Structure 1
């Protein structure tokens, strides 16, 4: 076994251990301390005591944090691979905002409800935003450069957020819930809303994994990738579809959560290297850990209240974004 394979295996194994540790912390830590006996009762579905009931509530919340974090981590890694942009992230490129806009418009204008419908709206909005940003970023000399994609994504995100505010302002009946959802959080999670998302998440994962080889080739440049026999256009479509589905699922379930897709792939490259066959699953594990720990931190910092994970990830991701800009100076990967 080569050093590269050993390093990748070590990184993946370490990621699994960290996910399990994160799940354990998420179940144990909350606004109130819970003795071990009540933790076990809560995991078994017994809610006779307050502590056991609290643990039972944390179970779907933990599952949602792991699922959404993995989806955002993978989508960020794939987007960075497609665009060769070190700043690519579902939030920075406006994909999250597009998904959120479609969900809010569906609620406000068409009285749409139901988890499955929200998932379709989120995926459609993410797809439209991704196509729009890439089209705008491709205009002009040099094509879709990292700088132009970042600027187009930022402008799209701002415009979508402003439009959401315009849609919600006249609707006092939904304004409170929509504004809370826009912050991004996993509180109030239920298995009834998580289960319909699992098939979508699986499709997004499979598409992303299937695109690993073409993403490795794209890292060498489009011309060389085509020379190696890769269908660049088809590969980009498959990869983009996987990232869009995952981002739409995460946004529909939790709201627009930023910076997870930016931070996690960079950290995973330090451990597992640049091979997307390893990077994509590692980004899923890393995203699950980051969002799970962000949820735990939000419960601790504001006791007895809580901070939504979207706020916590912003505190972590904003300095990382500045550091990435200064380090890469808008160069490609």
Structure 2
């Protein structure tokens, strides 16, 4: 139950604190920071060539120009920084998406963000002949925004409900991915160019792209945390949210803006990476509770840790080749769904 106020016949009372019976927020965040630090260390040291932690430290703070220094500074450090930023963005977007729709199985892709970005990128490549990452970056962002806006409009805008948003998102996703597949089959050069982007990966991504989209990621994250309290009220139900003075329409619109900024920018940099936004909020809710004021900080730390560990797994299982991180996270997401199916019941938010 969320901390806040609830109207009663005899007046106004404060709801019990969400954190009661759960680990203190500071302790959970400390654990998240420790796990993220460990994931960063693994990402910098493990790969086709293993580099000892001491050598990684030297490469970062007192480089000597060796081969290991070049691997750490020029290849793994940018890849790791991208993983941290993208992972945090996807985790936050997933937390907002699941709270907004009151559906613990919702994924940021439910609002058509990934499908919109993919459709815009394939159009830029196949129709306009734009093939550079920096060239179609803004197409991905615009496509994500248009798709999310269309889902909100089809879902009923002011009268939108979680179920209607989910149905609208499913319809938009199906239509856009059908368009993407059709254009790829029609133009083989588009298919060849698109395949390097269509599977989400942290490898061979231009770090300058992260610098370009960083303001959008920061803006989306700040907006997400600012929405924590109204989202918590909305999770109690629309009647309770109105009683607490929350503007449902404004909260829903700003939430979609935050999801679009976070997922659009992340997808533009790395391509579509699935299931991070599903798995992390679902996993951390067991000890954070449903209150977004506790849930979202956990998501911001645990999601990049999972993404980096998944990336490391992809590097070593078929070394010296590697598996894209989206394939690893999809496999883990499949295991999560199997677990949920075996439970036969998914708890409501």
Tell me the TM-score normalized by structure 2: 0.85
SS of 1:63's equivalent? Answer: helix
Alignment of 1:92-171 (within 5 A): 92-112=110-130, 118-137=136-155, 144-146=161-163, 149-171=165-187
Q: Quote how far apart the aligned CAs of 1:189 are.
A: 2.6
- 2:302 aligned with 1:294: no
Query: After superposition, what is the alpha-carbon deviation per residue over 1:41-90, rounded to whole angstroms, capped at 9, x for unaligned?
Result: 53248484433322221000011111111101100110111111222102
Per the alignment, in what secondary structure is the counterpart of residue 195 of structure 1? helix
Cα distance in 2 for residues equivalent to 1:92 and 1:232: 20
User: Structure 2 vs 1, CA of residues 180 and 112 (structure 1 numbering), >3 Å: closer, same or farther?
Assistant: closer
CA contact (8 A) 2:43 2:80 kept: yes
Separation in 1, partners of 2:78, 2:27: 29
- Are positions 1:25 and 2:42 aligned together? yes
Equivalent residue, structure 2, for 1:187: 203
Q: What is the CA-CA distance between 1:153 and the residue it aligns to?
A: 3.3
Aligned alpha-carbon RMSD (Å):
2.8
1:206 and 2:222 equivalent?
Answer: yes
The change in CA–CA distance for 1:246 and 1:117 in structure 2 (over 3 A counts) is farther
Change beyond 3 A, Cα 1:143–1:244: closer
Q: What is aligned with 1:307?
A: 323
Q: What residue ranges of structure 1 are gaps of 5+ in the alignment?
A: none
How far off its partner does 1:35 sit? 4.1
Name the CA shift for 1:327/1:119 in 2 (closer, same or farther; >3 Å).
Answer: farther
Unaligned runs of 5+ in 2: 1-16
1:271 Cα deviation after fit: 2.0
Could you tell me which residue of structure 1 aligns to residue 107 of structure 2?
A: 89
Measured in 1, the distance between the counterparts of 2:145 and 2:338 equals 27
Q: How does 1:206-285 map to 2 (within 5 A)?
A: 206-285=222-301
CA distance in 1: counterparts of 2:63 and 2:190, whole angstroms: 34
- Which residue in 2 is equivalent to 1:50? 67
| Count of paired positions | 330
CA contact (8 A) 2:94 2:108 kept: yes
